[in-house]
Amino acid sequence: MDFSWNETQINLKKKILEFAQQELKEDLIKLDQEKKFNQIDWYKWADFGIQSLIVPQKYGGQELDILSITYALESLGYAYEDNGLIFAMNAHIWACELPIITFGTEAQKQKYLPLLAQGKWIGSHGVSEPSTGSDVYSLKTIAEKKDDQYILNGHKIFVTNGSIADLIIIFANVDLEQNKRGIMAFLIEKDTEGLIIKRTISKMGLSTAQMGEIILDNCVIPSENILGKEGSGMAIFSHAMEWERGFILASAVGTIERILERCVKYARQRQQFGQPISKFQLIAQKIANMKLRLETARNLLYKMAWLKKSDKPALLEAAMTKLYLSQAWIDCCLDAISIHGGYGYLTEFELERELRDAMGSQSYSGTSEIQSLIIAKYLGL
Ligand SMILES: Cc1cc2nc3c(=O)[nH]c(=O)nc-3n(C[C@H](O)[C@H](O)[C@H](O)COP(=O)(O)OP(=O)(O)OC[C@H]3O[C@@H](n4cnc5c(N)ncnc54)[C@H](O)[C@@H]3O)c2cc1C
């Protein structure tokens, strides 16, 4: 087992750190309060190449291996503080680019991947509905086949990037009686008639990522926009979830490291009762726990990356990675706020934003309870 990174990977990390430090100057407190999409940085990261990490070279991407991508995303979370934009990029990569790379036709790949890789188009996916959350395969959006087309009617909610997306993968059922076997995935472009962006949904954190509520009202989709084969929607969703759950929080590992370093520095500087607060064992223990969480999270993440690099199934590991990393990120933010005392509660210290951002991770890509159920199922429970 070799835990060392090669020179190319180390250089990529270095470049990400330098780029974030030198090129990205947006006022995150303001953007967070205004709940605006961080468009400037989206294009800057696209020029840098984050949105093209997984895309094959043939379609203008970098086609990096999954270990390098994991390291790049971890470095991104360490170097760059806009968790909302990182989340938007993750949704774009795992929920839109990856399914097209894996299941798309040659024509679909040629049409969409270069635009998505360059960040000129923003991708998203819509599965969740007002009455369908964790019980995802009970979705009610209907796709009715008519000649060579499908007519979609339904209602999607929680769609990350949804209100600004150029391309949305929408999951719908062609035959509710077939239950999950009737589910299909459709590639829907933003100007398609019948695709109605009802609103941008305001939320607790990840404010620079825009979340949409979408209505499909007799939305006509040509059959060339089916993703995968008829009835393969469940397989597409399950594949996307394995990767998304495994890697969507790679950046959070970097974020935890950044917050940990900040806490160490603060605890050594801040004096109370005539000594640095780091000398109080209750504070030191919080920091030691943060370090333990960081390294455990990292090990789960790297194992996940190694499994996928080795083409092995990793549904159990994906659930464990998602469950552990989300809780580690939340706990780390709570400890950081506590270590900073009253200052941790202030907006200008930017830790309360970190906590609000971290909280979303226990819900998206399947809640923590659902990840626990998956783990239990693998244990035969
Ligand atoms: C920031 C964010 C981004 C998101 N992005 C997207 C996106 O891009 N596309 C998309 O389609 N969706 C997205 N979602 C939706 C997300 O996938 C759902 O919120 C999630 O699947 C849970 O569904 P729900 O909110 O309807 O909760 P429910 O399923 O109603 O769950 C409510 C509670 O019951 C628990 N529960 C449900 N079933 C069980 C069970 N069997 N056993 C034990 N407990 C259970 C849940 O864990 C939760 O605590 C996003 C959500 C968030 C918060």
What is the Å distance from ligand 1's center to 232 Cα?
22
For residue 373, what is the enclosing H or E element? Answer: helix 368-378
pLDDT > 90? residue 357 = yes
C-alpha torsion angle, residues 334, 297, 362, 290 (rounded to 10) = -10
Helix axes 7-23, 39-48, angle to 10 degrees: 150
Q: Catalytic residue at 129? A: no
Q: For the chain, what is the mean pLDDT?
A: 97
pLDDT > 90? residue 177 = no
Cα 127 to Cα 170: distance, rounded to the nearest angstrom: 6
> Which of 93, 129, 134, 160 is the pocket-test mutation for ligand 1 (most atoms within 8 Å of CB)?
134
Phi, psi at 167, each rounded to 5°: -140, 130
What is the Å distance from ligand 1's center to 166 Cα?
24
What is the Å distance from ligand 1's center to 307 Cα?
26
For residue 149, what is the enclosing H or E element? Answer: strand 149-160
Structure confidence by residue, pLDDT tens digits, 117-135:
999 999 999 999 999 999 9
Protein residue closest via CA to atom 41 of ligand 1: 370
Domains of the chain, earliest start first: 7-122 (1.10.540.10), 124-230 (2.40.110.10), 249-378 (1.20.140.10)
360 lines ligand 1 (CB under 6 A): yes
Structure confidence by residue, pLDDT tens digits, 288-302:
999 999 999 999 999
0.95 exceeded by pTM:
yes
Q: How far is CA 272 from CA 49, 78, 217, 287, 293, in A?
A: 46, 29, 62, 17, 27
Q: Which of 81, 244, 257, 354 is catalytic?
A: 244
Task: Give the count of beta carbons closer than 10 Å to the beta carbon of residue 311.
Answer: 7
Protein residue closest via CA to atom 38 of ligand 1: 134
Structure confidence by residue, pLDDT tens digits, 33-58:
999 999 999 999 999 999 999 999 99
Average pLDDT over residues 348-374: 98
For residue 292, what is the enclosing H or E element? Answer: helix 281-309
What is the Å distance from ligand 1's center to 364 Cα?
6
